Amino acid sequence: MAALPIVLIVAIADNGVIGDDNRLIWRLKTDLRRFRSLTLGRPVVMGRKTFLSIGKPLPGRETIVLTRDPGFRPEGVHVAHSLEEALATGQRIGVGMGADSVTVAGGADVYRQALPLSDRLELTLVHATPDGDAVFPEWDRSAFVADGRESHPRSLDDEHPFTFATFRRRA
């Protein structure tokens, strides 16, 4: 059976910042809705710090948390001790739940490792320049082809304008 595609999902400010002090730094309800629809019914791989910042397993999804700490075993999630193990668990669980992809939801450390393995990037380009200590890594744009953009203005729900942008890895 063909492997499920790996889909990396991230919201990135114009200056590359994705978070600060282990938390999100904007209120974008439309982006949260998109994150939910891209991840619902699928395995979601994330680092231990991002998991702690969310604080609980994501409902309707299978959360796979990466840590090197053998004692870290929170309830309701799968724990993996290497990216390889996390993605293999994601494939196994994803096939079992009839998912169309294995998703990767950060943070910076996990994105850096998962980027070379990702088949599709679902970016939210947030048009703001916040301060932050977590930055999205440099990525090889020539390895991907743009496949759709959708601009959204600032609104009562969304404190910054932003653009959804999809990139697919070149064949």
Ligand X SMILES: NC(=O)c1ccc[n+]([C@@H]2O[C@H](COP(=O)([O-])OP(=O)(O)OC[C@H]3O[C@@H](n4cnc5c(N)ncnc54)[C@H](OP(=O)(O)O)[C@@H]3O)[C@@H](O)[C@H]2O)c1
Which of positions 15-74 make contact with ligand X (CB under 6 A)?
18-20, 22-24, 46-50, 53, 66-69, 72
The minimum distance between CB 19 and ligand X, in angstroms, equals 2
Give the x/- contact pattern for ligand X in 115-134, rule: CB under 6 A: -------------------x
104 is a contact residue toward ligand X (CB under 6 A): no
Residue with tokens 């492997």, as numbered in its chain: 3
* Segment 53-56 long-range contacts (CB within 8 Å, at least 24 positions apart): 53/19, 53/22, 53/23, 53/24, 53/107
Cβ neighbourhood burial of 164 (10 Å; 0-12, 13-18, 19+):
middle
The minimum distance between CB 119 and ligand X, in angstroms, equals 18
Q: Name 151's bridge partners.
A: 163
The nearer residue to ligand X, 2 or 19, going by C-beta atoms, is 19
The nearer residue to ligand X, 51 or 144, going by C-beta atoms, is 51
**Candidate list 7, 110, 114, 121; residue touching ligand X; CB under 6 A:** 110
SS3 83: helix
Q: Find out whether the peptide bond into 60 is cis, omega within 30 degrees of 0.
A: no
The minimum distance between CB 29 and ligand X, in angstroms, equals 14
Q: How many CB atoms lie within 10 A of CB 46?
A: 23
The nearer residue to ligand X, 2 or 21, going by C-beta atoms, is 21
Alpha helices in 4-137 (DSSP H): 29-39, 48-54, 83-96, 108-114
The nearer residue to ligand X, 91 or 113, going by C-beta atoms, is 113
**In the complex, which residues of this chain contact ligand X (CB under 6 A)?**
10-11, 18-20, 22-24, 46-50, 53, 66-69, 72, 81-83, 105-110, 113, 134
